């Protein structure tokens, strides 16, 4: 499985790969442990979701910051 929500992909904190194996191939629950297919590192599903949330927040803050810079120049 790919750790993905929308356009955001979760990355293994050890090797950066974006594919993971879930237990029994089922849709993972927050506490389930997923295994990176690249290096075998084990991470909880909820930690990957949190990683995606942080990345999304960074992107939104950058876009809003860029928009506000342009707004402030117009004055």
What's the pTM?
A: 0.76
CB neighbour class for 7 (10 Å; exposed up to 12, middle 13-18, buried from 19): exposed
Residues 12-43 have pLDDT tens digits of 999 999 999 987 767 888 999 999 999 999 99
Other C-beta atoms closer than 10 Å to the C-beta of 20 total 22
Domains held by the chain: number: 1
Q: Say what the pLDDT of residue 58 is.
A: 93
Q: Say what the pLDDT of residue 51 is.
A: 94
Q: Say what the pLDDT of residue 69 is.
A: 85
Q: How far is the C-alpha of 17 from the C-alpha of 63, rounded, in Å? A: 26
Other C-beta atoms closer than 10 Å to the C-beta of 71 total 9
Q: Say what the pLDDT of residue 2 is.
A: 65
Q: Say what the pLDDT of residue 31 is.
A: 93
Residue 4 confidence (pLDDT) above 70:
no
Q: Comparing 1 with 34, which gets the higher pLDDT? A: 34
Tokens of 6: 């929308």
Question: Which domain covers residue 44, as residue numbers?
Answer: 4-74
In sequence order, which residues have a C-beta less than 8 Å from that of residue 28 and are 6 or more positions away? 1, 22, 34, 45
């Amino acid at each position: 499985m790919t750790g993905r929500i929308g356009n955001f992909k979760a990355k293994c904190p050890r090797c950066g790969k974006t594919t993971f194996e879930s237990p029994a191939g089922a849709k993972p629950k927050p506490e389930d442990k997923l295994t990176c297919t690249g290096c075998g590192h084990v991470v909880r599903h909820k930690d990957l979701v949190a990683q995606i949330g942080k990345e999304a927040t960074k992107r939104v803050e950058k876009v809003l910051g860029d928009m506000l810079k342009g707004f402030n120049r117009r004055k």
